[in-house]
């Protein structure tokens, strides 16, 4: 199945901005984050199809996964 992955801010360094990936059925966000070699603590904010999600969320065909690093500032 195909999943669109969007990386933001520092997560793009050495990776990509936007990529369509082929994944096995039943893949969870945690698995995909590991495949991308992103440390869990760096994947602080996660959205699937513009809705907040967690590492255990099962992805489905055509989903768009957006991953953001921790946000700081004031």
The phi, psi pair for 15, rounded to 5°, reads -120, -110
Res. 71 pLDDT band, cuts 50 70 90:
confident
Angular region, 55: left φ>0, alpha ψ -120 to 50, beta rest: alpha
**Is the pLDDT confidence value at 74 over 90?**
no
| Domain assignments of the chain as residue spans, ordered by start | 2-68
Q: Compute, in degrees rounded to 10, the torsion defined by CA atoms 58, 13, 41, 3.
A: 0
Q: Convert the pLDDT of each residue in 11-66 to its tens digit.
A: 999 999 999 999 999 999 999 999 999 999 999 999 999 999 999 999 999 999 99
Residue found by looking up tokens 């590492």 in the block: 55
Structurally, what CATH architecture does the domain formed by 2-68 represent?
Answer: Roll (3.10)
């Amino acid at each position: 199945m195909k999943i669109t992955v969007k990386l933001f801010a520092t997560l793009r360094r050495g990776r990509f901005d936007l990529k369509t990936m082929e994944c096995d059925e039943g893949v969870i966000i945690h698995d995909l984050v590991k495949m991308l070699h992103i440390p869990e603590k760096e994947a602080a904010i996660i959205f699937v199809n513009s809705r907040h999600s967690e590492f255990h969320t099962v992805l489905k065909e055509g989903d768009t996964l957006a991953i953001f690093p921790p946000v700081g500032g004031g």
